[in-house]
A and B are shown apart, each in its own frame.
Chain A
Amino acid sequence: MDTSRLSIDLVKKIAELAKLPLDEKNFSILQKQLESSFTYINKIQSLDTSNARETSQVTGLENIFREDEVNKKRNLTQQESLSGSTAIYKGYFKVKAIFDEE
């Protein structure tokens, strides 16, 4: 697999997936940086992992449960929850529309 060359379209697609608005300058620098990064990272393809299972966490803990109770002391008030936002409407977060008119 040759990923050392990342096409402009592919980099655009990655930026779109990552929701990163890139200007022209950032775009061309990042394209080059991604290429050089992956040229190095691709080293990992030569590693023989045929006998290795995946490890996603290292302590081996599993099934951590807690009582299903609400701790009211930890609840944030509506005002506290909204306090970090600059776009609020009548006590709600304002978001951009995600549906078209039709």
Chain B
Amino acid sequence: MKNDITELTIKELLNSLAKKEFSSIELIDAYLKNINSFEENIKAFITLLDREEIHAKIKNLKFKIKNLSGLPFSLKDAYITQDTTTTAGSKILDGYKPKYNATVYQKLLDNGAVLIGKNSQDAWGHGSTSENTDYDIPRNPYDLNRVAGGSSGGSAAAVAANMVPFAIGEDTGGSIRNPASFCNITGLKVTYGRVSRYGAIAYASSLDTVGPMAKSVEDIAYILSIIAGKDPYDATTSPNPVPNYIENLSRDIKNKIIGVPKEFFQDGTDKEVIQKVRDALKIFEKLGANICEVSIPSIDIGVAAYYLLAPSETSSNLARYDGIRFGHSRDKFTQETMRRIMIGTYALSAGYYDAYYKKSLKARTLIINDYNNAFKKCDMLIGPVNPTPAPKFGELISDPVQLMLSDVYTLTQNIAGIPSLALPCGFTESGLPIGMQIMGKMFSEETILQAGFAYQQATDWHKRKPKL
């Protein structure tokens, strides 16, 4: 057994707990020790629960029947947690204590997992760097002068710094994949409707997805098995049966066809990023997959479509924050959030609705067609997650157009609804993590997890750790 139990995989942790090699209390304390050591620099949490409170929760667990008994985790602060402060990263909700639980949280609780904190994020999910927050900005564990990514930046930083074995993020236009890629962890954006959004504070309801962030594809499969499935409280969840993601994980990928969309390697993309993704494709070839070039021509227009669809939906979703029933007044929105609300309000207003909102819904159809056409030729697609490694603080947040373009490779999957798995595929010469994404057909999580698992069996990028 490894000396540091916080480095174990979820499978190893559960085995060790079952064999009583260590107790849940010892495990939690090991993670809390890391939090004590690193949180001052990393700022991965908005709210941390008391040690005594966490211990009490573990003592109340009924062990044998639970799948994740005693396993600690954290949630992006976008998830409603009964009687535990939930802010979505915004002062509007400062001090807000919800009176019910998000389904994803309830499912993890029902399986014996133990919440230890709520992660920092861009307010309402509005951002790609987690700088748009009213709380402390999370820092990248690989370089404290750089962003952890966003909007689920705190969750990615917490996993990378071994503060938790896994976290739940939320992805509306890359918000799980982008920070996963910047922080050298694995993150899954699920098919729209695969995991319940009930109790997830809405950013853009037709794009929002709930997904796991962890140290490996195998860990992701464990968590997805628990959180996926139909929820009577979210009418958009799919009735499709949930496959056994764990049992089928090690199926090989021989003769699978991997499409490489040429538009994902466009000018302006960092050369080292391109090189590392190309290197990864060679590994897939060695594993028996076939590579072919495909085209997603609408990727550029996807940025414009996303920045109409998402702000339109968010202007409507955030209208509920009127400071009457809960929360504080609307002057407390950040400038970034105000801009998104105003873009959406304008795009939905009389006289502009057809030219903007309706037009973007039509663009969405064309984007879906592009992906469908590509998937006629292949089983999955691979490309980079981000055009660059993690930027320094302040590099993107001040320029709205540059901020939009930084999301170019992660927006269209949300518009189309397809799943995408982000995983580490190398480092820059300066030591910054680089991530790739494996995109699949609707509800093909099983396939992309198998491909990601095969890759992680053949490589060890995901096992590299930051020096903290």
Name A's B-contacting residues (CB within 8 A).
Answer: 1, 3, 11, 14-15, 17-22, 26, 29-30, 33-34, 36-45, 47, 49, 52-59, 61, 64, 66, 74, 76, 80-81, 83-87, 93-95
Contacts and interface: CB of A to CB of B under 8 A. Distances in A.
Most chain B CB within 10 A, of A33, A45, A64, is at: A33
Contact of B96 (A45, A84, A94): A84
B111 to A, nearest CB: 20
B65 interface: no
Main secondary structure of the interface of B (DSSP, over half): helix
B304 A83 contact: no
Contact of B361 (A11, A30, A56, A85): A56
Given A30-B338, A58-B368, A80 B99 contact: yes
A44 B305 contact: yes
A66 B192 contact: no
A58 B206 contact: yes
18 contacts: A3-B352, A11-B342, A18-B345, A20-B330, A21-B329, A21-B330, A26-B338, A37-B343, A41-B307, A41-B308, A41-B356, A43-B301, A49-B362, A49-B366, A54-B358, A59-B193, A85-B324, A85-B326
A30 B335 contact: yes
Contacts of B442: 58-59
Contacts of A64: 235-236
Interface in B309-355: 315, 319, 322, 324-331, 333, 335, 338-339, 341-343, 345-346, 349, 352, 355
Contacts of A84: 96-99, 325-327
Given A47-B363, A58-B206, A76-B99, 5 more contacts: A29-B335, A34-B339, A47-B366, A54-B362, A55-B364
B416 interface: yes
B1 interface: no
Contacts of B315: 18
Contacts of A57: 192, 206, 236
A34 B343 CA distance: 7
A38 B361 CA distance: 17
Main secondary structure of the interface of A (DSSP, over half): loop
Contact of A14 (B232, B298, B342): B342
Given A52-B362, A57-B206, A40 B401 contact: yes
A38 B27 CA distance: 51
Nearest to B334: A26
Nearest to A80: B99
A88 B25 CA distance: 42
B440 to A, nearest CB: 14
B16 interface: no
B301 A36 contact: no
B107 interface: no
B205 to A, nearest CB: 9
Most chain B CB within 10 A, of A34, A41, A53, A80, is at: A41
